[in-house]
């Protein structure tokens, strides 16, 4: 997997040979764009879409002043990223609501794109927002698809309307009438998955549309889709004039270039993304985050969002000061563990870091979230005085702490040792020269 | 529609050109990359074609096309997999690639070979997954071993193997929960299933087959890699080839990971499964 670092490195390489700053030249742009094109294609952006995009961005970039604050590499990536964001729709777009209830949402897409699960997620989300949704099971082809929706509906206490394998057009009409009768304000229709070249089944969708005139027709697409994204979205849009797109399975490690392909070919907004297996795992689509992801830059923005939620600014500033003055104590350590937990745990944080997501599996075994919890228990068994000044923790104090936390004395020893080591590390980072320069420092850290 | 039309016009004219110039190779690249094989493979294949054409003094597009076809076929070479019985096939893959349907098709395939087949409903995770497989089992008139939703999949597999041994079934096909390959806990469950299969029936042939959706892009490589890190992967079932997707992503997979394609799926009916045929696969890419 090509990571952001590798794209930056390749671009740096190009510019190091040529640029004396000033303006970006046509030749430099051409070479840089070649790398960007590869990055886009590796992210599954459609071949033709990538080509058009590169042509457009090249034009914009030639002659552009290099901002003083940026290197040429950063400058080019910024131009590319800004344009990706713009192309994918700028701001996030909300769901349309019908002035006269019920709002009817029709979900369609290929087999296996995750429609049924997404219907459940959307229903739960709307229910939480105070709506009264009704789920309608119209997949009469896949064995047990209706059962699947019924099980989902039951788990979130939302009614599922079904008429077995009756003609879906008829079922939809009856469902809308049912919703009107019982004052349910939102109807979500789960249609069967189908290939865009299956004329008979595409006709069925058109008939459903004509019969009930949905407020929203959402095309559900697997974020991992490849070059096909263009053919699929074009065909569905030609047949149904869809109102938006939902990208599913974005919780994997796909770069999701499909988002760009779909958006630039059919010009319809991506409204939601599916981010996990649980029914609460649905989020609005953020073009800026997607742009970073396509370029392999990691989901830093989501990470920043989560960090802001977990830690208020004042605490963060205080923490920074303590790091600088090296007055970081065990109380602060607990604070850190708590914020980390609020952000979804260490694994979730790491998975959003640029350059790490692909390697997460390898380092996962080394992360032990339980150990963090155990350390927390140990620290909580200390007196405030001990936490602020761990040096006073002698043998008998250690025994008392171990007992209080339900661990061995050796665990307490280990924690204090690790804490002292990290303090040492912080000292070194502040002044690498005093420790024989950066390399010596790295060697020392590796040896530990 | 602009992009689309241009794209097809290109395909049509690429091999009508007579000269092997840069335009020819540019358009060739678009055909190869559009099959989802990735830029690196595409460029590598084009290099090979250039060298071959030079060596064989080929100067016209028609002969170049034949060479290209041969290169594409040769690159699909992988060790062939033979079926020996008793046989236990564990079917893995991410969500929505068509695992359950592929199991139904494979069941029919072995029934056609006059083998007795038993199914194990190891997907205890997704809502109604067991019902879906049970429906197929009824249609195909085969027995299925199952427990309730949320049951331990390894224990379903254990029951199935016990039953297989007692009643001398030739083939056991195990369905597993779809999982994104980045979910470590579910991958561990797979490891457990694998251990049970190995422990309980050491003398049977075991195959772990990964189901890949032809319409998925470069992520399929990551999928195979991740599953391969957890359990041995013996082959690929490539599904949804009845659409316009070409499934070219198998090139880097075969090349880098040496996992052969065993079956291809091209529809929703039980007969829509073929043993992998290199030539027709390549012809679809060049179509």
Least confident of A225-239, A294-308, B112-126: A294-308
CATH 1.10.260.30 describes domain A304-447: yes
Nearest to A110 among B127, B149, B215 (CB): B215
Q: What DSSP string runs through A313-331?
A: HHHHHHHHHHHHHT---HH
Label residue A406 by pLDDT band (50, 70, 90).
confident
Mean pLDDT of chain A: 81
CA distances from B280 to B11, B16, B192, B219, B220 (A): 18, 21, 38, 24, 21
Percentage with pLDDT > 70 across chain A: 72
Mutate to test the interface with B, among A143, A347, A351 (most CBs of B within 10 A): A143
pLDDT at A162: 96
Kindly tell me if the per-residue pLDDT of A3 is higher than 50: no
Mutate to test the interface with A, among B131, B218, B225, B245 (most CBs of A within 10 A): B218
Mutate to test the interface with A, among B96, B150, B247 (most CBs of A within 10 A): B96
Chain A nearest CA to B183, separation (Å): 8
Task: Give the mean pLDDT of A50-58.
Answer: 92
CATH of A4-87, one of 1.20.1070.10, 2.60.40.1080, 3.30.70.1400, 1.20.120.140: 1.20.120.140
Residue B180 contacts A where some CB pair is shorter than 8 Å: yes
Chain A nearest CA to B57, separation (Å): 30
pLDDT at A416: 83
A162 vs B contacts (CB less than 8 Å): none
Q: A155 and B180 in contact by Cβ < 8 A? A: no
Kindly tell me if the per-residue pLDDT of A357 is higher than 50: no
Label residue A333 by pLDDT band (50, 70, 90).
confident
Least confident of A349-358, A425-434, B106-115: A349-358
Q: Please give the residue that has the higher pLDDT: either A307 or B241.
A: B241
pLDDT at A322: 67
Kindly tell me if the per-residue pLDDT of A342 is higher than 70: no
Kindly tell me if the per-residue pLDDT of A421 is higher than 90: no
Q: How far apart are CA A232 and CA A109, in angstroms?
A: 8
Q: Give me B241's structure tokens.
A: 């080839």
Residue of B nearest to A34 (CA): B39
Q: Do you know the residue count of chain A?
A: 448
Highest mean pLDDT among A151-155, A401-405, A428-432, B4-8: A151-155
B182 vs A contacts (CB less than 8 Å): 251-253, 351, 360-361
Q: How far apart are CA A423 and CA A429, in angstroms?
A: 10
A48 vs B contacts (CB less than 8 Å): 3-4, 6-7, 30
State the Rg of chain A over Cα.
27
pLDDT at B220: 96
Q: How far apart are CA A306 and CA A288, in angstroms?
A: 16
Q: B132 and A143 in contact by Cβ < 8 A? A: yes
For chain A, helix, strand, coil in percent to 5 are 60, 10, 30
Task: Give the mean pLDDT of A180-206.
Answer: 96
Per-residue pLDDT of chain B (287 residues; tens, 9 = 90+): 344 445 445 555 565 556 778 888 888 899 999 999 999 999 999 999 999 999 999 888 888 989 999 999 999 988 888 999 999 999 999 989 999 999 999 999 999 999 999 999 999 888 788 999 999 999 999 999 999 878 899 999 999 999 999 999 999 999 999 877 777 777 888 999 999 999 999 999 999 999 999 999 999 999 999 999 999 999 999 999 999 999 999 999 999 999 999 999 999 899 999 999 999 999 999 88
Q: How far apart are CA B255 and CA B225, in angstroms?
A: 12
Label residue A82 by pLDDT band (50, 70, 90).
confident
- Domains delineated in chain B: 2-74 (1.20.120.140), 87-277 (3.40.50.300)
The angle that helices A437-447 and A409-430 make with each other, rounded to 10 degrees, is: 170
Q: B219 and A364 in contact by Cβ < 8 A? A: no
pLDDT at A358: 46
pLDDT at A389: 82
Q: B217 and A258 in contact by Cβ < 8 A? A: yes
Q: What DSSP string runs through chain B?
A: -HHHHHHHHHHHHHTT--S--HHHHHHHHHHHHHTT--HHHHHHHHHHHHHHHHHTT--SHHHHHHHHHHHHHHTT--------SSEEEEEE-STTS-HHHHHHHHHHHHHHTT--EEEEEE--SSTTHHHHHHHHHHHHT-EEE---TT--HHHHHHHHHHHHHHTT-SEEEEEE----TT-HHHHHHHHHHHHHHHHH-TTSEEEEEEEEETTB-THHHHHHHHHHHHS---EEEEE-TTSS---TTHHHHHHHH---EEEEE-SSSTT-EEE--HHHHHHHHH-
Q: Please identify which residue in the block is written with the tokens 């890419």.
A: B285
Q: Which of residues 189-208 of B touch A (CB under 8 A)?
A: none
Task: Give the mean pLDDT of A287-306.
Answer: 69
SS3 A351: helix
CATH superfamily of this structure's domain A103-297: P-loop containing nucleotide triphosphate hydrolases (3.40.50.300)
* DSSP H/E element including A248: strand A244-248
Label residue A436 by pLDDT band (50, 70, 90).
low
Chain A nearest CA to B82, separation (Å): 30
Q: How far apart are CA B201 and CA B158, in angstroms?
A: 10
Kindly tell me if the per-residue pLDDT of A362 is higher than 70: no
Chain A nearest CA to B128, separation (Å): 5
Label residue A442 by pLDDT band (50, 70, 90).
very low
A249-281 pLDDT, tens per residue?
A: 988 788 889 999 999 999 999 999 998 888 999
Label residue A429 by pLDDT band (50, 70, 90).
low
Chain A nearest CA to B17, separation (Å): 21
Q: How far apart are CA A230 and CA A226, in angstroms?
A: 9
- Distant-in-sequence, close-in-space partners of A226: CB < 8 Å, separation ≥ 6: A44, A258, B36, B215, B216, B217, B218, B245, B249
Residue B237 contacts A where some CB pair is shorter than 8 Å: no
Kindly tell me if the per-residue pLDDT of A445 is higher than 80: no
pLDDT at A173: 97
Residue of A nearest to B130 (CA): A144
Q: How far apart are CA B120 and CA B130, in angstroms?
A: 9
A49 vs B contacts (CB less than 8 Å): 3
Sign for the CA dihedral angle at A304, A309, A311, A316 comes to positive
With 0.80 as the threshold, say if the pTM is over it: no
Q: A252 and B181 in contact by Cβ < 8 A? A: yes
Q: Give me A140's structure tokens.
A: 């009469």
Least confident of A65-69, A357-361, A396-400, B86-90: A357-361
Q: B97 and A112 in contact by Cβ < 8 A? A: yes
In chain A, where the domains are located: 4-87, 103-297, 304-447
Mutate to test the interface with A, among B138, B179, B219 (most CBs of A within 10 A): B219
Q: Please give the residue that has the higher pLDDT: either A179 or B8.
A: A179
Least confident of A34-38, A122-126, B106-110, B269-273: A34-38
């Amino acid at each position: 997997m090509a990571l952001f670092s590798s794209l930056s490195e390749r671009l740096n390489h190009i510019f190091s040979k040529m640029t004396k700053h000033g303006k970006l030249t046509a030749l430099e742009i051409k070479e840089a764009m070649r790398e960007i094109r590869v990055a886009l294609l590796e992210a599954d952006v459609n071949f033709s879409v990538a080509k058009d995009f590169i042509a457009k961005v090249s034009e914009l970039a030639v002659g552009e002043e290099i901002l003083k604050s940026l290197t040429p590499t950063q400058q080019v990536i910024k131009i590319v990223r800004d344009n990706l964001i713009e192309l994918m729709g700028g701001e996030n777009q909300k769901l349309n609501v019908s002035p006269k209830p019920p709002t009817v949402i029709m979900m369609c897409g290929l087999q296996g794109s995750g429609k049924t699960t997404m219907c459940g997620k959307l229903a739960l989300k709307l229910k939480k927002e105070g709506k009264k949704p009704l789920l309608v099971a119209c997949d009469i082809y896949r064995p047990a698809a209706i059962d699947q929706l019924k099980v989902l509906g039951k788990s979130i206490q939302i009614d599922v309307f079904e008429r077995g394998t009756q003609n879906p057009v008829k079922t939809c009409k009856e469902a809308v009438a049912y919703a009107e009768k019982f004052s349910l304000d939102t109807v979500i229709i789960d249609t069967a998955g189908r290939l865009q070249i299956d004329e008979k089944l595409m006709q069925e969708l058109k008939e459903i549309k004509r019969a009930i005139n949905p407020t929203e027709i959402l095309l559900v697409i697997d974020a991992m889709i490849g070059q096909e994204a263009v053919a699929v979205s074009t065909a569905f849009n030609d047949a149904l004039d869809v109102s938006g797109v939902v990208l599913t399975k974005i919780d994997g490690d796909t770069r999701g270039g499909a988002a760009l392909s779909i958006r630039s070919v059919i010009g319809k907004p991506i409204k939601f993304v599916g981010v996990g297996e649980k029914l609460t795992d649905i989020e609005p689509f953020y073009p800026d985050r997607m742009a970073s992801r396509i370029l392999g830059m990691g989901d830093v923005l989501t990470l920043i969002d989560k960090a802001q939620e977990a830690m208020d600014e004042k605490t963060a500033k205080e923490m920074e000061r303590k790091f600088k003055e090296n007055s970081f104590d065990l109380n602060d350590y607990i604070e850190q563990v708590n914020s980390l937990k609020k952000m979804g745990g260490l694994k979730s944080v790491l998975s959003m870091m640029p350059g790490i997501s692909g390697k997460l599996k390898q380092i996962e075994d080394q992360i032990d979230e339980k150990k963090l919890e155990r350390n927390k228990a140990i620290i909580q068994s200390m007196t405030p005085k001990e936490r602020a000044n761990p040096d006073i923790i002698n043998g008998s104090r250690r025994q008392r702490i171990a007992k209080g936390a339900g661990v061995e004395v050796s665990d307490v020893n280990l924690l204090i040792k690790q804490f002292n080591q990290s303090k040492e590390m912080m000292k070194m980072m502040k002044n690498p020269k005093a420790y024989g320069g950066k390399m010596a420092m790295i060697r020392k850290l590796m040896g530990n | 529609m602009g992009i689309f039309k241009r794209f097809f016009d290109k395909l049509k004219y690429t091999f009508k050109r007579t000269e092997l110039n840069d335009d020819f190779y540019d358009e060739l690249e678009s055909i190869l990359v559009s099959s989802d094989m990735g830029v690196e493979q595409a460029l590598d294949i084009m290099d090979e074609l250039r060298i071959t054409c030079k060596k064989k003094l080929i100067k016209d597009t028609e002969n170049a096309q034949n060479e290209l076809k041969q290169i594409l076929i040769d690159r699909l070479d992988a060790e062939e997999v033979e079926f020996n019985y008793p046989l236990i096939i564990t079917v893995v893959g991410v969500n929505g690639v068509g695992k359950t349907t592929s199991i139904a098709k494979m069941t029919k395939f072995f029934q056609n070979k006059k083998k007795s087949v038993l199914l194990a409903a190891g997907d205890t995770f997704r809502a109604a997954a067991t019902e879906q497989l049970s429906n197929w089992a009824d249609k195909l008139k085969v027995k299925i071993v199952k427990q309730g939703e949320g049951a331990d999949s390894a224990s379903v597999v254990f029951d199935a193997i016990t039953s297989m041994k007692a009643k001398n079934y030739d083939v056991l096909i195990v369905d597993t929960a779809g999982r994104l390959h980045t979910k470590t806990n579910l991958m561990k469950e797979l490891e457990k299933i694998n251990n049970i299969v190995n422990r309980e029936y050491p003398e049977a042939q075991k195959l772990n087959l990964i189901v890949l959706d032809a319409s998925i892009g470069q992520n399929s490589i990551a999928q195979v890699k991740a599953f391969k890190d957890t359990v041995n992967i013996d082959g690929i079932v490539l599904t949804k080839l009845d659409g316009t997707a070409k499934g070219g992503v198998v090139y880097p997979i075969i090349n880098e990971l040496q996992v052969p394609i065993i079956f291809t799926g091209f529809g929703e009916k039980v007969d829509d499964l073929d043993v992998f045929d290199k030539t027709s696969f390549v012809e679809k890419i060049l179509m």
